[in-house]
Amino acid sequence: MTKPYDILLYYCYSPIADPEAFREEHHLLCLELNLLGRIIVSNEGLNGTLSGLRADCEKYMQAMHADPRFARIDFKVDASENHAFTKLHVRTKTEIVHSGMLHINPSVRTGVHLSPAEFKDMKDRPDVVVLDVRSDYEHSVGRFKNAVTLDIENFREFPDKVDELKEKYKDKKILTYCTGGIKCEKASAFLLEQGFENVYQLHGGIIKYGMEAGGEDFEGKCYVFDNRVAVDVNKVNPTVVSACYVCGTKSDRMVNCANPVCNLHVPICENCGVELDGACSATCKEHPEKRPYDGSGYYQKELNGYNPLKGFNRRKTTDAPA
């Protein structure tokens, strides 16, 4: 049976003159189309993940492509049984992905974009290094076979690792990758700025590679930033690379510790989940604030009376009085 919902993942580096005015208009568009998710608006562009009924998502993509600023957006579309989010947030920020590399403009210079087929053809060559630019909790549950991974808690730490990369791989061809491609835009541009000469990026990221190349040699699952947490991408030679935080058995079941004070985000197998009632340790199991465990290890954030219309200065109205 056809899944009725779509999940959209996209970004676009394109100047937005008045981010706050655009945010307001764009938020209203998403409300009209019954879309949920997260969108970041900046003067450098857009970064979004949304979910909605297929027809509503189609209308959204048509509206975006009709705007010359966003005509080149490459939407990654995944079918779903239901919404991947419970609310809508459209926010303005300094960057559309927090990197701290404010001087980098991917629209001016960035790594060579490789299609999934081109990436697949190049990735195993002896003069190539495949570089994962994501955070440690992301690549812990899945990464490309033989990829170089970085011990970073967030993307802001990427520049701190470049000197180390330069010592080992400066004369190699660097193939960067991430979930949907956005981090690679700045990461590859920064590598070029730092003296690397042959820098490439997987266009559309792991998600597009799974859709167009079957995900071959991507080991484990791909971490995503919605209610699914981690998704399968490899239809050719899948495997599990992560281990249960508690017992060490193979497990790609990413959960949050039921103790909200801890909230550790790691793989925990179903057996340990049951034994520790959703906690990551015996200490957390006994914590007085421990959340009820429903077997999923996922805890929805409190909406706290969330009102998506709050803060609007302009509203669409019916015909104004004469």
12 an active-site residue?
Answer: no
Q: Which of 12, 30, 57, 178 is catalytic?
A: 178
Tokens of residue 27, six digits: 């938020």
Tokens of residue 175, six digits: 């193939």
Tokens of residue 269, six digits: 């197998």
Residues labelled as active-site residues: 178
